[in-house]
């Protein structure tokens, strides 16, 4: 409403013949009303955001800078926090690599398993979401079962179950898989057996992804599928030409979500290392060490996220760009 009024008044300004007096052309009251309205909108915007802004300032922004700052100092917590300068500003970061001797291998295996798991989770959840979205019998029953992981797949329940060996597929553990993979070289067969061993866990971790895909698929209008059917496309072609392009931005969203969820879930080995380094007594390593470790880890996650983003982002269409430029020129 407000923008429309502004546009109208702008048009009036443009069409008025007397240029020097154009400020006087708009009635004074009217101008005043527009700015007041705008001010009210700004004010209400901040009223609605206020609780979150206070919270995010106290518990996120300040804490983040504190943690970054402390990671360059020697920190002692006694009657408040005291910081002492280090010999070199980067000493904490160096000591992470010297004290944590197996860190490179742990980080490497973590990154590889993340990169292996990501496409599997995305593909599985897309397939499941498409199955749940298609015409099947007992759809609500299947949906109820398939959303079950969202309810119980987190926390100590899962670690209890993995300790029991429920995480592996029962058919896989009795050697039939290893005989199948016998012909492959070791560097290939080992990750694959690993993958099959944690297949249930991977599937169990993809509850939210299925949800996101499903609600995305439900927005695709059926007319598009009907049109393609009339044009004689089969299911395979429909998937590649209609479903996938529409779902592509959701794949990006889901990949980012999956990376973040896997990287920040409490049961990954690096987070366990960080917790152990930060909280175990005696404080040989201390808070500052844990924070330096954390920032190294955060940097790695950021690199992976940027990589995923560049891989999956929408390629900018040349025609669209050209048209946008034309519009701007006009």
Residues 209-228 within binding reach of other proteins (CB under 8 A): 211-212, 214-216, 218-219
Phi-psi region of 83 (alpha: psi -120 to 50; beta: other; left: phi over 0): beta
Neighbours of 293 (CB within 10 A): 25
- Give the nearer residue to other proteins in terms of CB position, either 188 or 245: 245
Per-residue burial over 46-60, b = 16 or more CB atoms within 10 Å of its CB, e = otherwise: eeeeeeeeeeeeeee
| x/- track of binding to other proteins for residues 300-319 (CB under 8 A) | -xx--x--------------
Considering only residues 185 to 214 of the shown chain, the ones binding other proteins according to CB under 8 A are 199-200, 203-204, 211-212, 214
Q: Does 110 bind other proteins (CB under 8 A)?
A: no
| x/- track of binding to other proteins for residues 145-184 (CB under 8 A) | xxxxxxxx-xxxx--xx--x-x--x---------------
The structure tokens listed for 20 are 């020097």
Of 263, 264, 265, residue with least CA distance to 154: 265
Smallest separation (angstroms) from other proteins to the CB of 21: 31
Q: Does 48 bind other proteins (CB under 8 A)?
A: yes
The structure tokens listed for 230 are 């009339």
What is the C-alpha end-to-end distance of the chain, expressed in Å?
Answer: 24
- Give the nearer residue to other proteins in terms of CB position, either 30 or 63: 63
Q: How many residues belong to the site for other proteins (CB under 8 A)?
A: 92
- Helix intervals (H) in the chain: 2-15, 22-25, 28-56, 62-70, 91-99, 103-133, 139-146, 148-152, 156-163, 170-173, 176-180, 186-197, 199-204, 207-217, 222-230, 235-238, 244-264, 269-279, 286-312, 318-329
The binder of other proteins chosen from 114, 126, 250, 308 (CB under 8 A): 250
- Give the nearer residue to other proteins in terms of CB position, either 113 or 247: 247
Of 237, 246, 155, residue with least CA distance to 204: 155
Q: Looking up tokens 């609605």, which residue turns up?
A: 48
- Give the nearer residue to other proteins in terms of CB position, either 138 or 326: 138
Smallest separation (angstroms) from other proteins to the CB of 173: 13
Give Cα separations from 320 to 144, 180, 245, 329 (angstroms). 42, 50, 16, 14
Considering only residues 259 to 288 of the shown chain, the ones binding other proteins according to CB under 8 A are 260, 263-264, 266, 271, 274-275, 278, 287
- Give the nearer residue to other proteins in terms of CB position, either 86 or 124: 124
**Stretch of 61-69, 83-91, 185-193, 312-320 lying at the interface with other proteins (CB under 8 A):** 61-69
Considering only residues 25 to 44 of the shown chain, the ones binding other proteins according to CB under 8 A are 40-42, 44
The binder of other proteins chosen from 67, 74, 95, 197 (CB under 8 A): 67
- Give the nearer residue to other proteins in terms of CB position, either 20 or 170: 170
Smallest separation (angstroms) from other proteins to the CB of 35: 13
Sorted by sequence, the CB contacts under 8 Å of residue 129 that are 6+ apart come out as 210, 213, 214, 216, 217
Smallest separation (angstroms) from other proteins to the CB of 98: 22
CA distance 170 to 165: 9
- Give the nearer residue to other proteins in terms of CB position, either 44 or 90: 44
Q: How many CA atoms within 13 Å lie on the side-chain side of 112?
A: 13
- Give the nearer residue to other proteins in terms of CB position, either 188 or 306: 306
């Amino acid at each position: 409403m407000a923008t429309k009024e502004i546009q109208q008044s702008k048009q009036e300004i443009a069409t008025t013949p007397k240029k020097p007096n154009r400020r006087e052309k708009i009635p004074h009251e009217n101008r005043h009303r527009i700015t007041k309205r705008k001010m009210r909108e700004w004010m209400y915007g901040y009223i609605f955001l206020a609780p979150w802004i206070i919270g995010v300032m106290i518990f996120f922004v300040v804490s983040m800078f504190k943690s970054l700052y402390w990671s360059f100092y020697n920190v002692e917590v006694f009657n408040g926090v005291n910081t002492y300068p280090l010999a070199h500003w980067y000493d904490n970061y160096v000591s992470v690599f010297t004290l944590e001797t197996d860190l490179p291998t742990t980080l490497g295996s973590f990154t590889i398993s993340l990169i292996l798991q990501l496409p599997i989770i995305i593909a599985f959840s897309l397939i499941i979401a498409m199955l749940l979205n298609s015409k099947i019998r007992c759809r609500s029953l299947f949906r109820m079962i398939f959303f079950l992981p969202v309810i119980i797949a987190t926390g100590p329940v899962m670690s209890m179950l993995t300790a029991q060996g429920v995480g592996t597929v029962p058919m896989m553990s009795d050697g039939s898989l290893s005989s199948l993979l016998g012909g492959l070289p070791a560097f290939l067969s080992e990750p694959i057996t690993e993958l099959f061993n944690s297949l249930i866990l991977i599937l169990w971790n993809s509850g939210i992804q299925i949800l996101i895909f499903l609600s995305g698929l439900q927005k695709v209008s059926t007319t598009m599928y009907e049109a393609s059917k009339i044009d004689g496309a089969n299911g395979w072609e429909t998937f590649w030409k209609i479903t996938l392009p529409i779902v592509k931005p959701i794949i990006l969203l889901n990949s980012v979500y999956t990376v973040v969820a896997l990287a920040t879930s409490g049961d990954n080995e690096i987070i366990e290392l960080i917790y152990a380094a930060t909280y175990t007594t005696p404080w040989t390593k201390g808070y500052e060490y844990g924070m330096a470790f954390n920032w190294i880890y955060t940097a790695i996650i950021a690199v992976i996220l940027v990589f995923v983003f560049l891989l999956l982002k929408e390629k900018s269409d040349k025609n669209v760009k050209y048209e946008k430029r034309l519009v701007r020129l006009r």
